[in-house]
Amino acid sequence: MNHPENISSSQRDQLHIHTDVILDKVVAAWIELQTKQPLVHCITNSVAANYAANVLLAAGASPAMIDNPFEAESFASIAAALSINLGTPTTEQMQAMRISAQTVTEKGTPWVLDPVGYGPFLKWRSEMADQLLLLNPTVIRGNASEISALAGNQVESKGVDSTVSSNEVYLQALPLLAHCECVAISGESDFLLSKELNAVIQVNGGSFLQPKVTATGCALGALIAAYCAVATPTIATISAHIHFAIAGKLAFERSQNVGHFNVAFLDEIYAMTADKLLEYADIEVLSL
């Protein structure tokens, strides 16, 4: 396993080429998202429902929050992607999650698992996350505490916020690639582990205000699902994180306070362009 500091200059060149190729694919994914406006089936929490729907609409997708078990199968069967978020589960939502995940797995539709709050003090959802893991989600995303705990590590957690840094724990998430195509760990920088590239993609940007706005991580999970409908899991995950990071960076330039920052953030999600993606994307490819 090479750490970025230890790789040779020829490896660096190779990874640098990767970056350009990746960004071209990210732009293509963003264009596809605008063109196809894929239907994204979201089962999410009461805090994120409105916000995630607005982020998906602003980004170009067509979200539908269908979280009852009686319509889960038929709706998951027509969705272009599924996003499952364990933030504030109810018994009916839990049933809907299981049914929807099984449905999309059988159909080959991509889906994202966001194990919000995974850890020893929230066992009900954690057990559900463990079960959903066995259905092989396309992408798993969470903060550093959640992902590290889901991968089997002992982590101190503080409710639904992370107590560890993404750059410290991302290698702990490696075992999860046995269950999915991509693992995304959000934090000051985001770290995305890709089976396809056999690499870690570090995404920089965003703003320190982002964790001060609730449900941004939940919305990011839903956005990954949206991109999964128009790109490979790895490109989808990178695209969603870059889309978020640029919007966060540009929103912060416009407003340095949470209320207005959040309004500007939605603006910038909507106002994305291919040029902005190429100009502001700040990623590094680290070999695994």
Where do contacts with a copy of itself occur on this chain (CB under 8 A)? 39, 41, 45-51, 53-54, 57-58, 62-68, 70-71, 74-75, 77-79, 87-92, 117, 120-125, 158-161, 211-215, 257-260, 262-267, 269-271
Whose Cβ is closer to a copy of itself: residue 107's or residue 260's? 260
* Residue 50 beta carbon to a copy of itself: minimum distance, rounded to whole angstroms: 5
Apex 212 CA angle, 250 and 251, nearest 5: 10
Measured in degrees and rounded to the nearest 5, phi and psi for residue 203 equal: -110, 120
Q: Which residues contact 57 (CB under 8 A, 6 or more apart)?
A: 63
Whose Cβ is closer to a copy of itself: residue 46's or residue 131's? 46
Whose Cβ is closer to a copy of itself: residue 120's or residue 175's? 120
Burial class of residue 61 in the structure, from the number of CB atoms within 10 Å of its CB (0-12 exposed, 13-18 middle, 19+ buried): buried
Chain Cα centroid distance, residue 220: 5
Residue 240: HSE in the Cβ half-sphere, 13 Å Cα cutoff: 35
* Residue 17 beta carbon to a copy of itself: minimum distance, rounded to whole angstroms: 35
Whose Cβ is closer to a copy of itself: residue 16's or residue 212's? 212
Whose Cβ is closer to a copy of itself: residue 151's or residue 250's? 250
Task: Evaluate whether 258 touches 213 at the Cβ level (below 8 Å).
Answer: yes
Long-range contacts, 229-232 (Cβ 8 Å, 24+)? 229/33, 229/36, 229/38, 229/39, 229/40, 229/61, 229/80, 229/81, 229/110, 230/29, 230/32, 230/33, 230/36, 230/38, 231/25, 231/28, 231/29, 231/32, 232/181, 232/196
| Secondary structure (DSSP) of 129-154 | HHHHHTT--SEEEEEHHHHHHHTT--
Whose Cβ is closer to a copy of itself: residue 20's or residue 127's? 127
Rg for the chain (alpha carbons), in Å?
Answer: 17
* Residue 118 beta carbon to a copy of itself: minimum distance, rounded to whole angstroms: 12
* H-run or E-run covering 245: helix 233-254
Whose Cβ is closer to a copy of itself: residue 16's or residue 158's? 158
* Residue 286 beta carbon to a copy of itself: minimum distance, rounded to whole angstroms: 30
Residue 155: HSE in the Cβ half-sphere, 13 Å Cα cutoff: 30
Whose Cβ is closer to a copy of itself: residue 150's or residue 192's? 150
* Residue 66 beta carbon to a copy of itself: minimum distance, rounded to whole angstroms: 7
* Residue 215 beta carbon to a copy of itself: minimum distance, rounded to whole angstroms: 7
* Residue 152 beta carbon to a copy of itself: minimum distance, rounded to whole angstroms: 20
* Residue 163 beta carbon to a copy of itself: minimum distance, rounded to whole angstroms: 10
